[in-house]
C-alpha cells in the first residue's frame, strides 16, 4: 500500500514502530530523532518510578550543571551584565557529543567554584569595608563626645576635689589626652563605643536605662550616610553611640546588652593622639580594602562577561542533553542490556526519513549492528497529527483550542480557512475598515521576521493570527463592496437602478419615492440610492436577515455533508443510514424548504402579478401550528407540500432514535452467535486496521500477537490501561447516547439556524455604529466654514479616525471574530467533528526549546 | 446591463473560477488546502453577491427620503 500524500484534509497516517538501537549509540540516535522531530515515544517503563530509571544518574548530573548555569545567570543579573541571547531561528546548535558535555560540566564546575570563591572573598571584603567605615565613623564621632565629656570631667573632678591629683595639672588646662585618661581612670569611669541600627536606638536606650538604673551617660549621633549591610546588600541608617559608665561590671553589662541588640562595638582610645593614629590606620586599611574590593569586583565581572557570551548556548546544550536522557528513560532493554528497545508513533509517510536518519547515525558510529525499525500493528488509537505551515498554523490553533480532532477525522481547520474569515466579514463589512485591517495585516506579513521578536503579549497574539487577519480583511473588502459601505458612506460605482419619482410641483422638503428604471438592476452590491433613505433599515434588515438564514443553511448543510464523508471514511454505514440521512432529511425539509421559499419569493415579481407577497416567517410558524392551512399562498399546492415535508421531518425522529442502536445490537448478537468473544470490530477506531479485521484479542483485553502477519512482532508493551479501546457493548448505553444525540440534533437544527441571525445583528450594529460615529464627529465639522471649520475638521478627523480604529476596527472586529468563532466551533463543527483524538506530540528539540518557559531569558 | 439572467452569468463565471482553482492549484503537499480554500471562497462570495442581487431583483419597497435638496431630485 503506497502511502497517500499527506494533506490537511485528514490527520496524517500514523504507524506504531519499534526501534532496536544498540546501547552505545542510543544517545546519538535520540539526538538525531530529536532534531528530526517526527517521533513520539511511548513510555515503556511506566511502572518504574522516576528515580529507578536507567539514566537517572545522568539526568541528575545534568540537573546539577543546569543549576550551576542558572547560578551564573543570577550572578550576572546581580551585577547587570547583559546576556548574549541565542536566536533559535538564526543559529542552530548541533547536538553535543558526550565529551562536549563532560567538558562543559567540568568547566561549569570549576567556574562555579571560582565564582563562588570570588563572591565569597568579595563578601568578606565588603564586610570588612563596612566594619572599617563604621569604625571610622565611631572614631570621628567619638572625638566630639570626648571633647564634651572632657569638660564634664573637669567639672566632676573639681567638685570631688580629689586630693591625689597633682596640683600643677589642674592649672595646665591643656586638654591633653593623658590628662583625660588619667582623670577617667582615676574616676573609674569607662566607656563603650559602637554603632547601632537607628531603628533600635530608642529600645537600646530604654533597656540600658532600666538595667543600669540610670547609672550611665550616653551620647549618640547619627551617621549621615547610609551604610550597606553586607549580608542583605541593603542600606541601613545607623547611629554612633558612646556610653560612659562607672565600674567594670556595669561596662561588661553594657557590652553584653549592646551585642544582644545587634550593635557593633569598636575600640576607641581615649587619648586624642592615639585616636588620631587609629584614624589614620583605619583610613589606610579602608583604602587597601577598597582597592582589593574593586579588583575582586572587576575580576568577577570579567569572568561573568566571558560566561555571558556562551551561557545561552550552554543552557540549550544542557537542556537538549537532558531531554535526550529523559527520552532514553522511556526505553526498555533486552535481556542482555545491550540493545535499547523503544516504541513510538510516527507519521507513516516519514518512516523512510526516520529510517535513513537512524542508518546515518549507525554508519557514523561505525557499528556493525544495524539499528532496526519495525512497523508493528496495534489497535491503539494513533495520535492526531495535523501538519501545519506558516499560513495554516493559526487556523489549526483555533480549531485545536476547541479540541483535538479524532484520528483521521476530517480536519475542521480546512473549511475554517475560508468559512471563519468569511462569516467574520459578513459581520464586519465595511470597505474602509477592511482596508485599514488589510494594510495592518500586510505590514505584519511584510515585516514578519523583525516583528517576531516583539514579546508584548497582546501584539504577539495579533501577530500570530496575521494570516487570519489577512484573509478576514480580504473578505471584508468584498463584503464592504457588497454592502456598499466605506466608513458608513456609500460609493456610486454603477448607475443606480432607482430614480426619484418627482411629481409635478414638487418642493424641497416633501418626501420623494424612487421608481425602478425599467429592468436594469444594480449589478454589484447594494444600490447606493438606499443609502440615507428613510426606509433604508427596513430594506437592509429584511435583506440581511434572509442572508443570514441562507448563509447559515449553506454552512450547516456543508458541515453535515462532511459527516457523511467521515462515516464513509471510517466505514460505518450505520452512521450514514442512522444519523446522516435522517438528519439531513429532517434539516432540509424544514430549513432547506425555508431557504427555497426565500429565494423563490425574491425571484417572483409580486407587483407584476398583482398578488400580495406572503410573510415567510408566518408561513414557517403556521407550517407547524396549523399544517395544511395557508394564509397567503406562495405557490400552488403549497399546503400539500408543507404537510408532506412536515411528515417527512417527523418520521425522521424515530429513525434517528432507534435505527443505529438496534442495528448495533443486531450486529453484536450476530457476532456473538458466530462465536466471537470480546469486542474487536466496533471499537476499532482506525480505518487502517480494517484490512486485518480478524485480528483477535485475548480475553483479558490485551492485544495479542498477530502471528500470521509477516511484520508481526511480539509487543513488549504491556496492555497499558491508559489507552485501551475495548468496552463491552451495552445496548442501553448506546440507546441513551442516541436519544441524546437525536434530541440535540433536532433542537440544534432550530437553535443553530437562529444562531446565524447574529450575522444580521452584528453587521447591522457595525454599520449603525459607524454611521453614528460619522454623524457625531466629522459630519458636524463639515458643515462649519472658515477658520473654525478648518480647526474643527482637523481635530474631528483625528477623533474620528482614532475612534474608528479603536472602536470599530479593534473592538467590533474582536466581537465579530468571537461570534464567527462560535459559529465555527458550535454551529458547524457539532455537525460532523467528534473531537475525541489526542494530539501527536513528537519529541522535537525545536518545539521543546521554543516552548520551555525556563529558557525564556536565554532565547533571543 | 445587469438583468435577471445575470445570476446565471455570474454562476458560469464562478464555476469557471472554481474549475480553474481545481486545476491550477499548485501541486504538492498543500494542493488540497489551495483547492478547498479557493473553491469555498469563490462559492461564498458568489452566494453573497447572488443574495444581494436577488434581494433587489423584484423589490417590494422603494427608497424614500424627505431631505432631498432642490436640484438633486434627478440624480
pLDDT in tens, A550-606: 999 999 999 999 999 999 999 999 999 999 999 999 999 999 999 999 999 999 989
The length of chain A in residues reads 860
The reported pLDDT for the residue numbered A140 is 79
pLDDT digits (tens, 9 = 90+) for A294-346: 888 888 888 888 888 888 888 888 888 889 999 988 988 887 778 889 999 99
Q: Is B64 on the interface with A (CB under 8 A)?
A: yes
Residue with the bigger pLDDT between B72 and A634: it is A634
- pLDDT tops 80 at residue A699: no
pLDDT band at A526 (very low <50, low <70, confident <90, very high): very high
* Most confidently modeled range among A358-372, A681-695, A782-796: A782-796
Q: Are A67 and A116 in contact (CB under 8 A)?
A: no
The reported pLDDT for the residue numbered A444 is 94
pLDDT band at B14 (very low <50, low <70, confident <90, very high): very high
pLDDT digits (tens, 9 = 90+) for A161-205: 445 545 444 444 444 444 444 455 556 677 788 888 888 888 888
The C-alpha cell of A559 is what?
458541515
The reported pLDDT for the residue numbered A708 is 40
Q: Provide DSSP, A463-523.
A: HHTHHHHHHHHHHHHHHHHHHT-BTTB----S--SEEEE--TT--TTS-EEEEE-TT---S
Distance between CA atoms of residues A15 and A42, nearest Å: 13
Helix (H) or strand (E) holding A317: helix A272-328
Sign of CA dihedral B38, B41, B45, B50: positive
Closest CA–CA distance from residue B22 to any residue of chain A (Å): 15
Mutation target for B interface from A416, A501, A504, A508: give the one with most B CBs within 10 A: A508
The reported pLDDT for the residue numbered A691 is 42
Closest CA–CA distance from residue A419 to any residue of chain B (Å): 8
pLDDT band at A1 (very low <50, low <70, confident <90, very high): very low
Closest CA–CA distance from residue B6 to any residue of chain A (Å): 8
Q: Pick from B45, B58, B62: which is nearest to A515 by CB?
A: B62
pLDDT band at B33 (very low <50, low <70, confident <90, very high): very high
Closest CA–CA distance from residue A516 to any residue of chain B (Å): 8
Q: A–B: how many Cβ contacts below 8 A?
A: 157
The reported pLDDT for the residue numbered A115 is 85
Which residues face A10 on adjacent strands? A410
Contacts of A5 in chain B (CB under 8 A): 29
- pLDDT tops 70 at residue A694: no
Cα Rg, chain B, nearest whole Å: 19
The reported pLDDT for the residue numbered A169 is 47
Pick from A279, A57, A252: which is nearest to A146 by CA? A279
Q: What φ, ψ does residue A47 adopt, rounded to 5°?
A: -85, -5
Q: Is B62 on the interface with A (CB under 8 A)?
A: yes
What number is the average pLDDT over the span A422-449?
95
- pLDDT tops 70 at residue A679: no
Contacts of B33 in chain A (CB under 8 A): 7-8, 392, 414, 417
- pLDDT tops 60 at residue A689: no
Q: DSSP 3-state assignment of A840?
A: coil
The reported pLDDT for the residue numbered A174 is 44
| Contacting residues for A711 by C-beta, under 8 A, at least 6 apart | A374, A375, A376, A377
What number is the average pLDDT over the span B15-22?
96
The length of chain B in residues reads 75
pLDDT digits (tens, 9 = 90+) for A409-420: 999 999 999 999
Average per-residue pLDDT for chain A: 84
pLDDT digits (tens, 9 = 90+) for A36-86: 889 999 988 888 888 888 888 889 989 999 998 888 888 888 888 888 887
Q: Are A413 and A395 in contact (CB under 8 A)?
A: yes
Q: Give CA separation, A696 vs A17, A270, A689, in Å.
A: 20, 102, 12
Average per-residue pLDDT for chain B: 90
Q: Output the CA angle A686-A688-A692, nearest 5 degrees.
A: 105
Query: What is the percentage of chain A residues whose pLDDT exceeds 70?
Result: 88
Q: Are A377 and A14 in contact (CB under 8 A)?
A: no
Query: What is the percentage of chain A residues whose pLDDT exceeds 90?
Result: 37
- pLDDT tops 60 at residue A507: yes
The reported pLDDT for the residue numbered B66 is 86
Q: What φ, ψ does residue A433 adopt, rounded to 5°?
A: -60, -40
Q: Are A609 and A627 in contact (CB under 8 A)?
A: no
Q: DSSP 3-state assignment of A19?
A: strand
The reported pLDDT for the residue numbered A718 is 42
Distance between CA atoms of residues A819 and A813, nearest Å: 10
Least confident span in A8-22, A205-219, A608-622: A205-219
Distance between CA atoms of residues A746 and A739, nearest Å: 11
Q: Is A600 on the interface with B (CB under 8 A)?
A: no
**Residue of chain A with shortest Cα separation from B40:** A418
Least confident span in A339-343, A648-652, A736-740: A339-343
pLDDT digits (tens, 9 = 90+) for A101-156: 888 888 888 888 888 888 888 888 888 888 888 888 888 777 777 776 666 655 55
The reported pLDDT for the residue numbered A151 is 63
- pLDDT tops 50 at residue A701: no
User: What phi-psi label fits residue A237: left (phi over 0), alpha (psi between -120 and 50 degrees) or beta?
Assistant: beta
Distance between CA atoms of residues A241 and A194, nearest Å: 6
Amino acid at each position: 500500500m503506497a502511502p497517500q500524500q499527506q494533506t490537511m484534509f485528514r490527520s496524517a497516517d500514523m504507524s506504531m514502530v519499534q526501534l532496536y538501537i544498540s546501547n552505545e549509540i542510543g544517545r546519538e540516535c535520540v539526538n538525531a530523532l530529536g532534531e528530526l522531530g517526527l517521533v513520539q515515544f511511548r513510555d515503556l517503563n511506566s511502572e518504574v518510578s522516576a528515580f529507578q530509571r536507567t539514566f537517572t544518574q545522568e539526568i541528575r548530573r545534568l540537573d546539577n550543571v543546569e543549576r550551576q548555569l542558572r547560578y551564573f545567570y543570577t550572578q550576572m543579573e546581580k551585577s547587570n551584565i547583559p546576556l548574549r541571547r541565542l536566536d533559535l531561528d538564526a543559529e542552530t546548535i548541533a547536538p553535543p557529543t558526550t565529551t562536549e558535555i563532560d567538558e562543559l560540566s567540568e568547566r561549569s564546575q570549576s567556574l562555579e567554584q571560582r565564582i563562588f570563591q570570588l563572591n565569597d572573598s568579595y563578601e568578606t571584603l565588603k564586610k570588612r569595608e563596612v566594619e572599617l567605615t563604621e569604625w571610622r565613623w565611631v572614631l570621628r564621632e567619638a572625638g566630639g563626645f570626648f571633647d564634651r565629656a572632657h569638660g564634664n570631667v573637669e567639672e566632676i573632678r573639681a567638685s570631688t576635689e580629689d586630693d591625689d591629683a597633682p596640683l600643677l595639672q589642674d592649672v595646665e588646662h591643656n586638654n591633653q589626652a593623658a590628662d583625660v585618661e588619667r582623670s577617667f581612670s582615676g574616676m573609674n569611669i569607662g566607656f563603650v563605643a559602637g554603632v547601632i541600627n537607628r531603628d533600635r536606638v530608642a529600645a537600646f536606650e530604654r533597656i540600658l536605662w532600666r538595667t543600669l538604673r540610670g547609672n550611665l551617660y550616653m551620647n549618640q549621633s547619627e551617621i549621615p550616610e547610609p551604610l550597606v549591610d553586607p549580608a542583605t546588600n541593603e542600606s541601613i541608617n545607623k547611629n554612633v553611640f558612646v556610653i560612659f559608665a562607672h565600674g567594670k561590671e556595669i561596662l561588661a553589662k553594657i557590652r553584653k546588652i549592646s551585642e544582644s541588640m545587634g550593635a557593633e562595638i569598636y575600640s576607641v582610645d581615649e587619648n586624642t593622639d592615639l585616636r588620631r593614629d587609629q584614624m589614620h590606620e583605619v583610613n589606610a586599611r579602608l583604602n587597601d580594602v577598597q582597592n582589593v574590593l574593586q579588583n575582586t569586583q572587576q575580576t568577577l565581572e570579567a569572568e561573568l562577561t566571558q560566561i555571558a557570551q556562551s551561557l545561552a548556548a550552554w543552557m540549550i546544550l544542557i537542556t537538549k542533553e537532558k531531554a535526550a536522557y529523559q527520552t532514553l528513560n522511556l526505553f526498555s532493554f533486552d535481556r542482555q542490556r545491550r540493545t535499547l528497545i523503544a516504541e513510538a508513533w510516527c507519521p507513516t509517510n516519514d518512516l523512510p526519513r526516520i529510517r535513513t536518519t537512524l542508518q546515518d547515525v549507525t554508519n557514523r558510529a561505525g557499528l556493525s549492528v544495524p539499528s532496526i525499525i519495525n512497523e508493528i500493528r496495534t489497535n491503539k488509537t494513533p495520535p492526531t497529527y495535523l501538519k501545519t505551515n506558516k499560513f495554516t498554523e493559526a487556523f489549526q490553533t483555533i480549531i485545536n483550542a476547541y479540541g483535538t480532532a479524532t484520528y483521521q477525522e476530517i480536519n475542521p481547520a480546512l473549511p475554517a480557512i475560508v468559512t471563519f474569515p468569511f462569516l467574520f466579514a459578513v459581520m464586519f463589512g465595511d470597505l474602509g475598515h477592511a482596508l485599514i485591517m488589510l494594510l495592518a495585516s500586510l505590514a505584519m506579513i511584510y515585516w514578519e521576521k523583525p516583528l517576531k521578536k516583539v514579546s508584548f503579549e497582546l501584539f504577539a497574539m495579533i501577530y500570530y493570527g496575521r494570516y487570519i487577519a489577512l484573509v478576514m480583511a480580504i473578505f471584508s473588502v468584498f463584503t464592504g463592496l457588497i454592502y456598499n459601505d466605506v466608513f458608513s458612506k456609500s460609493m456610486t460605482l454603477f448607475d443606480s437602478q432607482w430614480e426619484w419619482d418627482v411629481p409635478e410641483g414638487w418642493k424641497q422638503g416633501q418626501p420623494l419615492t424612487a421608481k425602478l428604471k425599467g429592468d436594469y438592476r444594480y449589478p454589484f452590491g447594494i444600490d447606493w440610492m438606499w443609502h440615507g433613505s428613510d426606509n433604508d433599515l427596513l430594506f437592509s434588515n429584511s435583506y440581511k436577515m434572509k442572508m443570514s438564514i441562507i448563509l447559515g443553511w449553506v454552512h450547516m448543510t456543508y458541515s453535515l455533508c462532511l459527516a457523511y464523508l467521515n462515516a464513509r471514511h471510517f466505514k460505518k454505514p450505520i452512521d450514514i443510514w442512522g444519523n446522516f440521512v435522517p438528519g439531513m432529511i429532517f434539516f432540509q425539509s424544514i430549513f432547506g424548504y425555508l431557504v427555497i421559499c426565500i429565494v423563490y419569493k425574491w425571484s417572483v415579481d409580486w407587483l407584476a402579478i398583482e398578488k400580495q407577497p406572503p410573510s415567510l416567517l408566518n408561513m414557517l410558524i403556521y407550517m407547524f401550528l396549523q399544517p395544511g392551512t395557508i394564509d397567503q399562498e406562495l405557490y400552488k399546492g403549497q399546503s400539500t407540500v408543507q404537510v408532506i415535508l412536515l411528515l417527512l421531518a417527523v418520521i425522521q425522529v424515530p429513525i434517528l432514535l432507534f435505527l443505529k442502536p438496534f442495528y448495533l445490537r443486531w450486529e453484536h448478537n450476530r457476532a456473538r452467535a458466530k462465536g466471537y468473544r470480546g469486542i474487536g470490530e466496533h471499537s476499532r477506531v482506525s480505518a487502517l486496521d480494517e484490512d486485518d479485521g480478524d485480528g483477535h484479542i485475548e480475553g483479558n483485553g490485551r492485544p495479542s500477537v498477530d502471528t500470521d502477519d509477516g511484520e508481526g512482532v511480539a509487543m513488549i508493551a504491556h496492555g497499558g490501561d491508559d489507552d485501551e479501546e475495548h468496552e463491552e457493548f451495552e445496548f442501553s448505553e448506546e440507546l441513551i447516547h442516541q436519544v441524546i444525540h437525536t434530541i440535540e440534533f433536532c433542537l440544534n437544527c432550530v437553535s443553530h439556524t437562529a444562531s446565524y441571525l447574529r450575522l444580521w445583528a452584528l453587521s447591522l450594529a457595525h454599520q449603525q455604529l459607524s454611521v453614528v460615529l460619522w454623524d457625531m464627529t466629522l459630519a458636524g465639522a463639515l458643515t462649519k466654514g472658515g477658520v473654525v471649520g478648518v480647526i474643527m475638521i482637523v481635530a474631528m478627523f483625528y477623533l474620528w479616525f482614532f475612534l474608528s480604529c479603536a472602536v470599530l476596527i479593534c473592538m467590533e472586529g474582536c466581537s465579530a471574530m468571537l461570534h464567527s468563532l462560535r459559529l465555527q466551533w458550535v454551529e458547524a463543527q457539532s455537525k460532523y467533528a467528534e473531537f475525541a483524538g489526542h494530539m501527536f506530540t513528537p519529541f522535537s528539540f525545536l518545539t521543546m526549546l521554543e516552548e520551555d518557559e525556563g529558557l525564556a531569558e536565554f532565547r533571543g | 446591463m445587469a438583468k435577471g439572467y445575470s445570476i446565471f452569468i455570474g454562476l458560469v463565471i464562478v464555476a469557471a473560477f472554481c474549475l480553474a482553482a481545481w486545476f491550477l492549484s499548485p501541486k504538492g503537499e498543500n494542493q488540497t488546502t489551495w483547492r478547498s480554500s479557493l473553491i469555498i471562497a469563490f462559492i461564498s462570495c458568489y452566494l453573497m453577491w447572488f443574495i444581494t442581487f436577488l434581494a433587489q431583483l423584484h423589490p417590494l419597497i422603494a427608497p424614500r427620503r424627505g431631505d432631498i435638496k432642490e436640484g438633486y431630485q434627478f440624480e
